[in-house]
């Protein structure tokens, strides 16, 4: 858990939210509030909120951050209940008069003039996409799924290195396209997912690609990566230990 003195921090970015075509809030005084260690939530001053769109739901609740009043949204025929919390004077220092919006209750969030997705991006997370000439080989069950000497390596805080490979270096004989879609606030929305079939075994959703990644991750456009928690990965012939992440929290093993 993040120490209480670092639980609440000022956010230096202009933050805006929209609902049903209306500007819900526009502020340069948002707070980062770390409700859990991986990333913060935005808390917005009530003075910067269009309170004409709020519906007072006439209840209050107490939690570790303090007491809050519950609100919904209403614009025309669109209404979303339990969409926002406004904190009162008995809350942690700095939270009185701040509104915490449910992320999915709004139609769009912006930092400055760039739309953001899924959740606020942590100021302590960095994602770099670097081209390399090291040879990356991906195997599963003794079958070579991909091999490339021109990968793009993605280094993301808190995750293992991901190896994005040219489609021409991937063996599509063993890939089965699926309808899965995932979103990442740092990389964007995936355009494709594949399961891997080796013999009679089908391993669900082990590979993915970003067709329209975020501006910072443009080098991975159209390339394919595999969950190196579930496949054997070799770099210049040397096997890597299987990664362990919150996606696949199994015990790590060394490639054989």
Tell which residue, 34, 111, 25, 120, has the closest CA to residue 71. Answer: 25
Mean pLDDT, to the nearest integer, of 134-161? 96
103-116: pLDDT as tens digits: 999 999 999 999 99
32 and 91 share one domain = yes
Question: What's the pTM?
Answer: 0.83
Shared domain for 87 and 185, answered yes or no, is: no
CB-side neighbour CA atoms (13 Å) of 95: 25
Q: What is the pLDDT of residue 1?
A: 37
What's the rounded mean pLDDT across residues 171-177?
97
Residue 244 lies in a domain: no
Over 60: is that where the pLDDT of 98 sits?
yes
Q: Residue 233 falls within a domain, yes or no?
A: yes
Inform me whether the pLDDT recorded for 251 exceeds 60: no
Judge whether 162 lies within some domain: yes
Q: Is residue 247 part of a domain?
A: no
In a domain, 252, yes or no: no
Instruction: List the domain range (segments joined by +) for residue 136.
Output: 127-239
The pLDDT tens digits for 1-36 are 344 447 999 999 999 999 999 999 999 999 999 998
C-alpha to C-alpha distance for 11 and 175, rounded to whole angstroms? 43
CATH code (residue 206): 2.170.150.40
Nearest to 55 by CA among 76, 77, 80, 22: 80
- CA torsion angle 228 230 232 238 (round to 10): 40
Q: Is residue 246 part of a domain?
A: no
Domain co-membership, 34 together with 101: yes
Looking at the structure, tell me whether residues 74 and 36 fall in a common domain: yes
């Amino acid at each position: 858990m993040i120490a209480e003195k670092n639980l609440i921090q000022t956010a230096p970015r202009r933050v805006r939210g929209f609902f049903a075509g209306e500007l819900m809030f526009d502020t340069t005084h948002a707070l980062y509030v770390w409700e859990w260690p991986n990333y913060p939530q935005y808390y917005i001053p009530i003075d910067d909120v269009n309170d004409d769109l709020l519906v007072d739901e006439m209840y209050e609740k107490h939690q570790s951050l303090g007491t809050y009043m519950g609100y919904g949204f209403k614009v025309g025929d669109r209404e979303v209940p339990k969409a926002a919390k406004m904190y009162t004077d008995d809350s942690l220092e700095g939270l009185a008069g701040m509104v915490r919006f449910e992320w999915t209750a709004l139609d769009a969030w912006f930092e400055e003039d760039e739309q953001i997705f899924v959740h606020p991006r942590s100021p302590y997370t960095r994602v770099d996409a670097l081209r390399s000439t090291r040879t990356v080989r991906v195997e599963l069950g003794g079958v070579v799924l991909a091999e490339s000497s021109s990968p793009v390596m993605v280094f993301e805080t808190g995750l293992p290195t991901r190896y994005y490979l040219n489609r021409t270096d991937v063996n599509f004989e063993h890939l089965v396209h699926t309808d899965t879609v995932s979103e990442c606030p740092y990389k964007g929305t995936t355009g494709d997912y594949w399961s891997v079939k080796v013999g009679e075994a089908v391993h669900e959703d082990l590979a993915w690609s970003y067709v329209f990644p975020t501006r910072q991750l443009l080098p991975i456009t159209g390339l394919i990566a595999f969950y190196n928690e579930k496949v054997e990965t070799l770099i210049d012939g040397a096997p890597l230990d299987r990664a362990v992440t919150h996606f696949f929290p199994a015990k790590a093993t060394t490639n054989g």
